[in-house]
């Protein structure tokens, strides 16, 4: 299992457009990918659950990736967070 944590830097937090792109990236991998925020763990491949978390600027999240392509998936997703959120 691979994981990384990140504090959201974007002014608008994890809003719908960014969440949609994040979900699209996650769906490119076969690994199980989850996001943990405020003691809730949700599937990162499901847009509705991600947007319902209400993640805002300054919030701390942890992404966990487990599966055959976990290393690549974790790297791609972490880079997306750093570049867009």
Would you please indicate which residues are annotated as catalytic (active-site) residues?
15
The answer for residues whose C-beta is within 8 angstroms of residue 3's C-beta and 6 or more apart is 62, 63, 64, 65, 74
In DSSP terms, which residues pair with 76 in a beta bridge?
Answer: none
Alpha carbon distances (Å) from 81 to 7, 16, 60: 9, 14, 12
């Amino acid at each position: 299992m691979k994981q990384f944590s990140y504090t959201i830097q974007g002014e608008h937090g994890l809003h719908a457009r960014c969440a949609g792109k994040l979900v699209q990236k996650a769906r490119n991998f076969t690994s199980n990918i989850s996001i943990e925020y405020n003691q809730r763990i949700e599937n990162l491949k499901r847009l509705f659950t991600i947007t319902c978390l209400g993640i805002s600027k300054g919030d701390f999240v942890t992404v966990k990736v487990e599966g055959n392509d976990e290393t690549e998936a974790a790297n791609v997703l972490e880079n997306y967070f750093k570049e867009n959120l």
